[in-house]
């Protein structure tokens, strides 16, 4: 299943981009986005899901 960042929940804290910089980046809008073409099966994705303080990342 594709990973999704709920833009309504994301606060732009940047944690996911720190934990998993190959998959998540903070966009110009200040919120987290998936990097196009990123490998969504990387283990750090699960870490980012676990660590997101508002539970904005799902798969």
Residues at the contact surface with ligand SF4, assessed by CB under 6 A: 5, 10-16, 32, 52, 54, 56-57
In the three-class reduction of DSSP (H, G, I as helix; E, B as strand; rest coil), residue 44 is classed as: helix
For residue 2, the minimal CB distance to ligand SF4 (Å) is: 15
14 or 35, CB closer to ligand SF4? 14
Sequence-ordered list of residues with C-beta below 8 angstroms from that of 10, at least 6 positions apart, any chain: 31, 32, 54, 56
For residue 36, the minimal CB distance to ligand SF4 (Å) is: 17
Contact 59, 40 (CB under 8 A): yes
For residue 8, the minimal CB distance to ligand SF4 (Å) is: 11
């Amino acid at each position: 299943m594709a990973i999704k960042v709920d833009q309504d929940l994301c606060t732009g804290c940047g944690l996911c981009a720190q934990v998993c910089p190959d998959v998540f980046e903070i966009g110009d809008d200040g919120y987290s986005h998936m990097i196009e073409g990123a490998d969504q099966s990387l283990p750090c994705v699960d870490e980012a899901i676990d660590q997101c303080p508002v539970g904005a990342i799902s798969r």
